[in-house]
Structure 1
Amino acid sequence: MTSQMRAEIGEQPDALARTIGALLPRLPELAALAAETRQVLFIARGSSDNAAVYGRYLVESHTGRLATLAAPSIATAYRRRLDLAGVLAVAISQSGKTEEIVESLAWAAACGARTVAVTNGAGSPLAESAEVALITLAGDEIAVPATKTYTTQLAALSVLGLGLGAAVPADDLRRVPDEVARVIARTEASPALPEIVEALAAVPGAVVSGRGIAFGTALELALKIKEACYLHAMGLSYADLLHGPIAVVDEQTPALLVAADSGPTLAGTIALAERVEGAGARAYGVGGGPLLAAACSAALPGPALPEWTSPLGLIVPGQIMVENLARRLGLDPDVPRGLNKVTQTN
């Protein structure tokens, strides 16, 4: 029986096409805000925070602007006023109803920031409070683990990057929906999928690692493993992993290594796979092309996309793997225990 999560994974090509088509015409609005700001502050929690990590790397690597992740507690718990003149505050929330995120964006505006919302909730409090609302067109998402709302957030952040001056072709973004459809088909046909699922079903947890543009994907994949499969999963930059936590990688704790098929962090990811395998543990690749696959015990295919747009497709084989793993463990991936679609924090 097909889970709702799997059905929504399959809806991503259409959701991405709708979202990209609707948001690319908004570039002039974003460029106007860019002209009046110099740095970017991302405000988010959960999967949206992992999307924000992608946004941060995209902005800093392709627009030359400083980008940081906000600590919403400064606004909502400590209630400290900061000087945010010249800051573009970008709040990201699937529903647009998370009170902490709505309050934090209002706080940023009161501190002098210009504001953008990224949400699937048209007419939501977050959308209504922002100067520019980038509404994703994912449609209703029923399964609790975010899939299409996450990838459409990444699409919105890609458009934001273009609006802030990223010197990359918009056509790279237009290619994404068709490539995601191909990734879905290739992943489900890959013999590596059942091999990796069986391997993970036999261990208590895994380390998930990537770097740079792919780091947010590693964090999101680790979150999905924890949410839907109840396994321990540590999401780390491979630079941080090498500083000590690599000691946890062993026969009972494999490494899932995430990378685009090209870019400056691919060589380091391959070297990490070789080190893990050389130590007698297992490395499983997600993306990274044939070079990463050759260094791993098994690897899922990634998208044939430029590095800057690769996260929009790179998470998809991970989503499929998680959905299969949850069912293999006898779990319902649609309704993880203890979780709701909208999470409120104080």
Structure 2
Amino acid sequence: MTTTTSVMRAEIAEQPAALRRTLQDLTPLTGALGELGRSTRQVLFIARGSSDNAAVYGSYLLQAHAGRLATLASPSIATTYGSKVDLDGVLAVAISQSGRTEEIVDTMAWAADCGARTVAVTNGQGSPLAEAADLALVTSAGDELAVPATKTYTTQLAALAVLALGLGADLDPGELNAVPDAIEELLAAPGDGVDELAERLAPVPGAVVSGRGMAFSTALEAALKLKEACYLHAMGLSYADLLHGPIAVVDQDTPAILVAANSGPTLPGTAALAERVSSAGAPVYGIGGGATLASACDLALPGPDMPEWTAPIGLIVPAQLLTERLARRLGYNPDAPRGLGKVTQTS
């Protein structure tokens, strides 16, 4: 592919505006979320693909800051096994960019039938998911034409941050409202690191992408993007899972990409992991983590300077830029990866 721009790159650049619109539209719903959540004790996230990675962020956020047990659903329990589960006291949060994935719509309906209250997070105004939920958080990303999710993903994260605030998280809403400006600053001066890292990854067949805590969601989403658009055998693993054996796969042909916020309790461990990978003779690259992570890596892409709880919304942006650049470097069209469409139906 010889073009220097793509729809994906243009949509990455649209994220600050999409986030501003989404926060403006959804922040007034924190009161309604609090009212809906008052009759519930725990949260069940229903999602697939990129939306499932967003749910990982939501799960960490609610458990760390809202005092709510949060888990990820197995939709096949509803759609394949048809099992009945007591979901009294559960808030089921179904996440789908289009709001038209039948498996997610059906699983949310199943959850309601099992006694759950329901929230939809979707970019699909008037979609079946939005219409069926007790309350819909409709993001304002606008139409997304490139198949790899970028602005629909980050606006989902913003919606989940609003959900956390509505459910009583003791966090500063001003820090969330500062996210669009921070991402805009990053996009205005991304530096040369993205091009350099794309060159280093171009010859390798695979990579391990790892993060811990809030940043784990970014590691999973970054790995998914590299698989979708670059056909790289990228494994998204948590910090702990990587240490429990799979670290043996990291070598000269399988570098590690480690993701972290610029501060927070998981940063020291992530930097220590980078040093361990490097001491084993394998390349190690960073996304975010400030000077602490950069000093332990062969090359690091700076992330926006955000507190840990909002950092995943910004940390995915360098990974999106890297994916788009690497796809073009390899001669692939990042807008239309083979075998993929915007809506995936699971039978």
TM-score (norm 1): 0.99
Counterparts of 1:215-234 in structure 2 under 5 Å?
A: 215-234=216-235
Query: What residue is the counterpart of 1:143 in the other structure?
Result: 146
Counterparts of 1:76-155 in structure 2 under 5 Å?
A: 76-155=79-158
Distance between the aligned counterparts of 1:282 and 1:141, measured in 2? 34
CA displacement 1:33-87 (0-9 Å, x = unmatched): 1211000000000000000000000000001110000000000000001000000
In the TM superposition, structure 1's runs of 4+ consecutive aligned residues that sit over 6 Å from their partners are: none
Are residues 1:8 and 2:11 paired?
yes
Query: What residue is the counterpart of 2:344 in the other structure?
Result: 343
Counterparts of 1:1-346 in structure 2 under 5 Å?
A: 1-187=4-190, 189=191, 191-346=192-347
CA displacement 1:154-203 (0-9 Å, x = unmatched): 0000000001110001001100000011122232x2x3222211111010
Amino acid corresponding to residue 101 of structure 1 in structure 2: I
Give 1:223 shift.
0.1
Distance between the aligned counterparts of 1:131 and 1:260, measured in 2? 34
Distance between the aligned counterparts of 1:325 and 1:14, measured in 2? 25
Say if 1:117 and 1:132, in contact at 8 Å, map to a contact too: yes
Structure 2 segments unaligned to the other structure (5+ residues): none
Aligned-partner SS, 1:145:
coil
Distance between the aligned counterparts of 1:51 and 1:234, measured in 2? 17
Distance between the aligned counterparts of 2:125 and 2:63, measured in 1? 28
Aligned-partner SS, 1:16:
helix
The Cα RMSD (Å) is 0.6
Aligned-partner SS, 1:241:
helix
Aligned-partner SS, 1:40:
strand
Distance between the aligned counterparts of 2:304 and 2:72, measured in 1? 27
Amino acid corresponding to residue 70 of structure 2 in structure 1: A
Aligned-partner SS, 1:15:
helix
Distance between the aligned counterparts of 2:199 and 2:188, measured in 1? 20
Distance between the aligned counterparts of 2:280 and 2:193, measured in 1? 21
Q: Equivalent pairs: percent with the same residue?
A: 70
Distance between the aligned counterparts of 2:83 and 2:276, measured in 1? 45
Amino acid corresponding to residue 219 of structure 1 in structure 2: L
Distance between the aligned counterparts of 1:78 and 1:185, measured in 2? 49
Amino acid corresponding to residue 277 of structure 1 in structure 2: S
Distance between the aligned counterparts of 1:208 and 1:215, measured in 2? 9
Amino acid corresponding to residue 234 of structure 2 in structure 1: A
Aligned-partner SS, 2:309:
helix
Tell me the matched-pair count. Answer: 344
Distance between the aligned counterparts of 2:194 and 2:228, measured in 1? 19
Aligned-partner SS, 2:44:
strand
Say if 1:186 and 1:301, in contact at 8 Å, map to a contact too: no
Amino acid corresponding to residue 140 of structure 1 in structure 2: D
